[in-house]
């Protein structure tokens, strides 16, 4: 029998209500395991970070189970003031990019099994302007896509929706000179995008940083420099499988810290959520979280 409760955080809006056909199975498994729990639901007025921060008591709860998508995971880890608490994830978003570089098996049954029988590992997180992330920060073209999605009042809805915004913006986006520093390297070039990550994948399956590792103590940086508009679609499509790594205008770097200078012409996103204009100060937090896989 479990001595402490599980804190189950559910975003009922994630994945267009996908939790409805999963939550009963989760409850059944908790009953079978004899594991006590409390379920907490987010809503439009109560985000996951506030909900977790107000209600998660490490003297009561032994584990945090997140049932939601990328945005819910990001909010939850920023609300959790207990870094040694094991975190499990049942991903029901439409993109589910955050968990792809952490868990080998991301189907529902495997994730539910990991809640009780999974291995606990320590993974790195990133932090940008004081806010943690597990996946990464995108600046430039993909930041513009996030801005457009935020203006429409909806989040990323996976590959097809992301592609519709990509194609809408792709032929009109104007590259700008982005000034940055990677540890001791100065950078100043016109870029289509710069993505700084701990994870590999964005936008419902685009493997932008295929070399990223979850626990190497480093940030991975992908830069796509200025390219002719007629070549942009080919470049973006090759990101789907990480095949852009061999293209001439694409460069990869590793760094413990990235500083992006103030810039009113470019915008960014963190784990798919629009975060506005630089400056951005981005660092790695080695082995900051415990995750069940």
The predicted-structure confidence for 182-206, as pLDDT tens digits, reads as follows 988 999 999 999 999 999 988 777 8
The predicted pLDDT at position 284 comes to 97
Q: Which of 26-35, 136-145, 236-245, 246-255 shows the lowest mean pLDDT across its residues? A: 236-245
Choosing among 3.40.640.10, 3.40.190.10, 1.10.10.10, 3.40.50.10330, the CATH entry for 5-118 is 3.40.50.10330
Contact 207/201 with Cβ under 8 angstroms?
yes
Please state the φ and ψ torsions of residue 264, each to the nearest 5 degrees. Answer: -90, -5
Mean pLDDT rounded to a whole number for the chain? 89
| Least confident interval from 1-15, 58-72, 78-92, 278-292 | 1-15
Identical fold at 5-118 and 131-287? Answer: no
The predicted structure's pLDDT at residue 220: 97
Task: Mark 123-161 as b/e (b = at least 16 C-beta within 10 Å).
Answer: bbbbbbeebbbbbbbbbbbbbbbbbebbeeeebbbbbeb
| pLDDT class of 1 with cuts at 50, 70, 90 | very low
Give the list of residues 6+ apart from residue 58 with CB closer than 8 angstroms, or none.
82, 85
Please determine, for residue 126, whether its predicted confidence score (pLDDT) is greater than 90: yes
- Model confidence, pTM: 0.90
Domain boundaries, the chain: 5-118, 131-287
pLDDT digits (tens, 9 = 90+) for 131-154: 999 999 999 988 998 898 788 765
Q: Assess contact for 139 and 268: CB atoms under 8 A.
A: yes
Q: 96 falls in which pLDDT band (50, 70, 90)?
A: confident
| Separation between Cα atoms, residue 270 and residue 279, nearest integer Å | 14
Six-digit token string for 36:
């006590």
Query: Among residues of the chain, what percentage have pLDDT more than 70?
Result: 93
Decide if pLDDT at 155 tops 70: no
Closest CA to 55 of 73, 37, 67: 37
Domain 131-287: which topology? Answer: Tumour Suppressor Smad4 (2.60.200)
Residue 107 and residue 49: Cα distance in Å, rounded? Answer: 25
Give the pLDDT score at 2.
52
**Residue 46 gets which letter from DSSP?**
B
pLDDT for 122: 96
Structure tokens at 202: 């964005």
């Amino acid at each position: 029998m479990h001595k402490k409760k599980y804190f189950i955080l559910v975003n009922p809006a994630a994945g267009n209500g996908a939790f409805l056909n999963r939550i009963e199975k989760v409850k059944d498994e908790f009953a079978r395991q004899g594991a006590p729990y409390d379920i907490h639901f987010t809503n439009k007025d109560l985000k996951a970070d506030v909900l977790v921060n107000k209600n998660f008591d490490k003297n009561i709860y032994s584990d945090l189970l997140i049932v939601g998508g990328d945005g819910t995971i990001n909010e939850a880890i920023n609300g959790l003031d207990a870094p040694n608490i094991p975190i499990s994830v049942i991903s029901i978003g439409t993109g589910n990019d955050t968990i792809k570089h952490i868990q080998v098996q991301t189907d529902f049954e495997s994730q539910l099994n990991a809640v009780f029988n999974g291995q606990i590992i320590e993974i790195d997180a990133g932090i940008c302007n004081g806010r943690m992330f597990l996946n990464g920060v995108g600046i430039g073209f993909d930041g513009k896509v996030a801005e457009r999605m935020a203006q429409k009042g909806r989040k990323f809805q996976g590959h097809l929706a992301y592609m519709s915004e990509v194609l809408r913006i792709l032929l009109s986006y104007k590259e700008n000179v982005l000034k940055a520093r990677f540890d001791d390297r100065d950078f100043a070039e016109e870029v289509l995008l710069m993505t700084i990550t701990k994870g590999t994948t964005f936008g419902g399956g685009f493997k932008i940083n295929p070399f990223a590792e979850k626990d190497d103590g480093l940030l991975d940086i992908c830069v796509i420099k200025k390219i002719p508009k007629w070549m942009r679609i080919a470049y973006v499509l090759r990101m789907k499988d990480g095949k852009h790594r061999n293209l001439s205008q694409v460069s990869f770097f590793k760094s413990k810290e990235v500083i992006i200078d103030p810039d009113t012409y470019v915008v960014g996103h963190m784990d798919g959520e629009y975060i506005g204009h630089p400056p951005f100060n981005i660092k790695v937090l080695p082995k900051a979280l415990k995750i069940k896989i």
